[in-house]
């Protein structure tokens, strides 16, 4: 018997095992790699539940997985199991064991996970498929767990995964980090991690624990990127900074009843200052090289919020200027929306409303509650409770989970109360939902 395991030990080991097994069997045998990883963990569960966890559980898993690989190669001698690059070495009884030993050596393990992450992030796959694949193959989530996080059906996720895996398997070889496509592929990986984190931060599942886990996985995987010299680029560092700065606020986003709190009402003492410091340090390290990525700008904005003593003390004018830059480099309706909110803080709600109305492509917000919510808040602050109520109602209609729904419902009630009193000129000190 030894110390208690990390609560997500199995899941993390899963990612490592699949990555190294894919290197042994080849990416075309992704399913076999998953079966062997599953069998390894199943054996651990069966043996450890009777005998207790061994002193070095990772080493136990490695030994078991190696044995299973050898069995599999012996049994399936006729089939072409091994990857082309290792095939010969793995087929020969003389070289098989040393090659497998090398495959499972600790350092290449981390690289394997990284290569796996790049192999899964095929630009040809949709965003949802990429995120689902990373969650499934590297993080060990089963379709039903992914479906729970995204509030979709298990069937739909299973089908999506199957198609995506077939596409990855057809690529025949693992992505090489020295490949000429490293840069475009890196962007695709970064985007997948950003989406993964966002799903945790804003996602459909109201259960806080599920969502924090997704954020935790995104942080773990982004650290793999910053840990390798080829992928530790300024934009990776900026992404890592952004995720750390947002993660710092996770605990403060909910009140004691588990309901969402507006950003301005969050108890800033509950922010995780270790994560903020790490984020600021990463942001500083990211400030090299000639290109200013969208990640840099977003991280810089997050840093303004993270270091302000209160919502009032936030350097709103500076944030507006950062959004101006972002609009120049990477214009989008979402950026424009966030900019409008910052303008309202810097120059007043009426100015903010003007900016909101001026957003081009606002029709893309039909399923995005923050747009209507922003109109609602700013109308309320500008003294127009009737108008505010209309917008909060619209926001409720497109809320993505019950927690958001209750949040907008509460704002709607507040607007109606003010409307009834006919006292639209003084508004409560409330603000928008925390929106990264």
Partner 1 sequence: MSEFVYLYRNGEKMSPEQMQQQMGRWVAWMKDLETKGALKNPGHPLERSGKVVSGSNRAVSDGLFAEAKDVIGGFTIVEARDVDHAVELTAGCPIFLVGGGVEVRPIMKM
Nearer to partner 1, 146 or 394 (CB): 146
Cα angle: 257, vertex 388, 356; to 5 degrees = 105
Is residue 42 classed as helix, strand or coil in its secondary structure?
Answer: helix
Contacting residues for 128 by C-beta, under 8 A, at least 6 apart:
150, 160
Nearer to partner 1, 34 or 434 (CB): 34
Closest approach of partner 1 to the CB of residue 163, in Å: 20
Closest approach of partner 1 to the CB of residue 29, in Å: 19
Half-sphere exposure of 370 (CA within 13 A, CB side): 18
Identify which of 347, 352, 349 has the alpha carbon closest to the alpha carbon of residue 425. Answer: 349
Report the interface residues with partner 1, using CB under 8 A: 5, 7-11, 13-14, 38, 41-52, 140-142, 144-145
Distance CA 107, CA 139 (A): 19
Closest approach of partner 1 to the CB of residue 346, in Å: 45
Task: Kindly tell me the sign of the dihedral angle through the C-alpha atoms of 176, 181, 182, 185.
Answer: negative
Residue 422 · residue 384 · CB < 8 Å: no
Residue 218 · residue 196 · CB < 8 Å: yes
Q: What is the DSSP letter of 152?
A: S
Residue 333 · residue 364 · CB < 8 Å: yes
Tokens 């989970």 map to which residue?
Answer: 401
State both tokens at 193: 């991690």
Closest approach of partner 1 to the CB of residue 13, in Å: 7
Nearer to partner 1, 5 or 397 (CB): 5
Nearer to partner 1, 43 or 400 (CB): 43
Closest approach of partner 1 to the CB of residue 24, in Å: 19
Nearer to partner 1, 9 or 60 (CB): 9
Nearer to partner 1, 13 or 355 (CB): 13
Nearer to partner 1, 1 or 180 (CB): 1
Residue 433: phi and psi, rounded to 5, are: -65, 150
Closest approach of partner 1 to the CB of residue 134, in Å: 15
Closest approach of partner 1 to the CB of residue 80, in Å: 22
Residue 392: phi and psi, rounded to 5, are: -65, -35
Closest approach of partner 1 to the CB of residue 42, in Å: 7
User: Residue 260 forms beta bridges with which residues?
Assistant: 254
Nearer to partner 1, 142 or 406 (CB): 142
Q: What is the three-state SS of 80-114?
A: CCCCCCCHHHHHCHHHHHHHHHHHCCHHHHHHHHH
Task: Give CA separation, 29 vs 34, 97, 251, 380, 430, in Å.
Answer: 9, 20, 41, 58, 54
Nearer to partner 1, 211 or 278 (CB): 211
Identify which of 341, 283, 273 has the alpha carbon closest to the alpha carbon of residue 307. Answer: 273
Nearer to partner 1, 16 or 381 (CB): 16
Closest approach of partner 1 to the CB of residue 295, in Å: 30
State both tokens at 434: 């925390």
Closest approach of partner 1 to the CB of residue 105, in Å: 22
Contacting residues for 411 by C-beta, under 8 A, at least 6 apart:
373, 376, 377, 380, 388, 392, 395, 430
Nearer to partner 1, 64 or 298 (CB): 64
Residue 219: phi and psi, rounded to 5, are: -65, -40
Closest approach of partner 1 to the CB of residue 248, in Å: 25
């Amino acid at each position: 018997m030894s110390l208690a395991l990390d609560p997500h030990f199995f899941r993390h080991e899963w990612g490592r095992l699949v990555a190294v097994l894919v290197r042994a069997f080849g990416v075309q045998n992704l399913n076999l790699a998953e079966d062997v990883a599953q069998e390894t963990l199943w054996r651990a569960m069966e043996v450890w539940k009777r005998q207790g966890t061994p002193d070095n559980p990772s080493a136990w898993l490695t030994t078991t997985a190696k044995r299973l690989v050898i069995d599999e190669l012996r049994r399936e001698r006729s089939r072409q199991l091994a990857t082309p690059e290792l095939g010969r070495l793995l087929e020969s009884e003389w070289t098989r064991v040393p090659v497998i030993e090398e495959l499972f050596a600790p350092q290449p393990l981390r690289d394997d996970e990284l290569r796996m992450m790049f192999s899964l992030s095929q630009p040809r796959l949709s965003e949802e498929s990429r995120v689902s694949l990373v969650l499934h193959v590297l993080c060990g989530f089963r379709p039903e767990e992914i479906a729970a996080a995204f509030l979709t059906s298990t069937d739909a996720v299973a089908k999506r995964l199957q198609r995506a895996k077939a596409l990855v398997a057809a690529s025949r070889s693992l992505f090489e980090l020295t490949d000429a496509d490293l840069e475009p592929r890196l962007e695709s990986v970064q985007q997948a991690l950003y989406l993964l984190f966002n799903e945790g931060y804003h996602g459909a599942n109201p259960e806080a624990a599920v969502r924090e886990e997704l954020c935790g996985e995104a942080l773990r995987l982004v650290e793999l990127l910053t840990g390798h010299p080829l992928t530790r680029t300024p934009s990776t560092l900026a992404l890592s900074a952004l995720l750390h700065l947002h993660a710092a606020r996770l605990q403060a986003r909910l009140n004691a009843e588990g309901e969402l709190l507006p950003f301005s009402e969050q108890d800033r003492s509950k922010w995780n200052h270790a994560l903020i410091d790490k984020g600021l340090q990463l942001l500083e390290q990211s400030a090299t090289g000639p290109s200013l990525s969208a990640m840099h700008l977003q991280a810089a904005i997050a840093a303004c919020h993270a270091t302000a003593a209160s919502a009032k003390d936030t350097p709103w004018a500076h944030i507006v200027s950062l959004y101006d830059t972002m609009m120049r480099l990477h214009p989008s309706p979402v950026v424009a929306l966030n900019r409008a909110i910052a303008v309202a803080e810097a120059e007043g709600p009426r100015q903010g409303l003007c900016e909101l109305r001026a957003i081009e492509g606002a029709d893309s917000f039909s399923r995005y509650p923050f747009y209507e919510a922003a109109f609602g808040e700013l109308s309320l602050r500008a003294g127009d409770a009737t108008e505010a109520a209309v917008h909060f109602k619209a926001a409720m209609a497109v809320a993505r989970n019950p927690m958001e729904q209750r949040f907008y419902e509460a704002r709607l009630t507040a607007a109606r109360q003010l409307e009834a009193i006919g006292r639209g000129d003084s508004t409560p000190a409330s603000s928008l939902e925390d929106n990264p």
